[in-house]
Amino acid sequence: MDCDKCGDAAVMYAAYSGLHLCESHFCRSVEKRVRSRVRSDALVADDATPDDSETWVVGLSGGKDSVVLTQVLHDTFDRDPRIELVALSIHEGIEGYRDESLAACETLTDDLGIDHEVVAYAEEFDVRMDDVVEDDPENMAPCAYCGVFRRDVLERYAADLGADKLLTGHNLDDEAQTALMNLFEGDLGQMANHFDASLGPFEPTGEGPTERARRSQTHHVPRAKPLRDVPEKEVALYAHLRDLPAHITECPHAEEAYRGEIQELLLDMEERHPGTRHSIMAGYEKLAALAADAFGGEEHVEYGECPTCGAPTARDVCRTCDLLDALGAEA
C-alpha cells in the first residue's frame, strides 16, 4: 500500500482515520498530535519567559510510552528557553525488570542531554516491591501498593525539583480504559478529579472538546498527558521506527484484573468499530468537565499534614505511611 500523503510505501494503516502513511508522514503525524495536545491543553504558561522558565518533570519508566513522550517533547522544546525538561525514574525493586528499563532511561537522557533523577523505593521507604508482593499485608494487588508509593515519590520529587508540571506517558488506550472504568463504576467524583488533576486544559483554549479549564490544585503538582491522543500501537511503532531505547518487557507483578477486562473489551470494540477510543474520550472529557463543575474542587476536601511524613493528605495518616506501617517498614 502507498502513503496517502506522498505515495511512498506505507508503514501503517489507521482504520479510525482510513489513512495509510509512510514512515515520515506517520512520524510527523504522531509529533503533530503531541504538539497539538500541548497547545489545546495550554501546557506552556502564558507568563513563561526565558528568564522565568517552566520546569516540566517527565515520569520516565523506560517503557515505550514515556520514552516516546520524552523524545518528542525534547524535539519540540529543546530550543525553547521557556521550558526545561527533567526526567524522573522510579526503581520499585523488581528483580530482572527495572534494571534494564533504567538502562534504557540512561541511554535516552544521555543522548538528549536531559537531567535524570532516579528514586528507589528501597531508599525512600525501605521496601522493595518483590518483598511487598510476598508479604501482602493488605491482601491487595501488587499495583495497588506500587501505585500509592509511585504517586508519593512523583509528587515529592516533582515538588523538590521545582516542577511546574508533571507529565506522564499515558496513551489513548490507557486514557480510554480509565474513562470507561470511571463510567462503569458510575463514579462522578472520580471523573471530576480526573478532569481537575490531569485532563482539563490549564486555560480555556477552545481547541479541545471542552471550553472549561481545570481548577488549579493547591496540594498537588499539576499533571498532564500530552501523548493521550496517540493509540498504544502507534506509540510502539514510533519507538521502533525511530529506534528509541525503549524497554518492552512487562512487569512480572502486573495484574490489574479489571483494567485487563476493559482493555480486551475496548480492543474488540475498536476492531469492529474503528474510532471508538477517540469518541469515548471526546465524550468523556465533556462529561468530566461537567462533573468537575458539579462535584469538583479541593474546597470540598479538608487537607491536613500527615503526622508521620508531612505529606498533604485528606486522611489522618497518609496512605503511604499506612501501607508502610502495615508492611512493618520504617518510613
Instruction: Point out which residues bind Zn ion (CB under 5 A).
Output: 3, 5-6, 8, 22, 25, 306, 308-309, 311, 318, 321
The 8-class DSSP code of residue 9 comes to: B
Which of Zn ion, ligand SF4, none sits in contact with 22, Cβ below 5 to 8 A by type? Zn ion
Applying CB under 6 A, does 147 fall inside the site for ligand SF4? yes
For ligand SF4, the closer CB: 4 or 322: 322
Nearest distance, CB of residue 169 and ligand SF4, angstroms: 13
Nearest distance, CB of residue 311 and ligand SF4, angstroms: 19
- Span near ligand SF4 by CB under 6 A; candidates 191-199, 200-208, 222-230, 249-257: 249-257
Applying CB under 6 A, does 152 fall inside the site for ligand SF4? no
- Where helices occur in the chain by DSSP H, the ranges are 23-40, 64-77, 98-112, 121-125, 129-135, 142-160, 172-185, 188-194, 232-241, 257-272, 276-295, 319-327
Nearest distance, CB of residue 93 and ligand SF4, angstroms: 10
Nearest distance, CB of residue 150 and ligand SF4, angstroms: 7
For ligand SF4, the closer CB: 93 or 208: 93
Which of Zn ion, ligand SF4, none sits in contact with 251, Cβ below 5 to 8 A by type? ligand SF4
Sites for ligand SF4 among residues 208-227 (CB under 6 A):
none
Applying CB under 6 A, does 153 fall inside the site for ligand SF4? no
The 8-class DSSP code of residue 212 comes to: P
The three-class DSSP label of residue 90 is strand
CA distance 85 to 71: 11
**What b/e readout covers 148-183, taking b as 16+ CB neighbours within 10 angstroms?**
bbbebbbbbbbeebebbbbbbbbbbbbbbbbbbbbb
CA distance 215 to 193: 10
**Residue 60 is inside which H or E element, if any?**
none
In the list 129, 176, 239, 287, the residue contacting ligand SF4 (rule: CB under 6 A) is 129
Applying CB under 6 A, does 253 fall inside the site for ligand SF4? yes
CA distance 148 to 106: 25
CA distance 34 to 41: 10
Contact residues toward ligand SF4 (CB under 6 A) are 92, 129, 142-143, 146-147, 251, 253-254
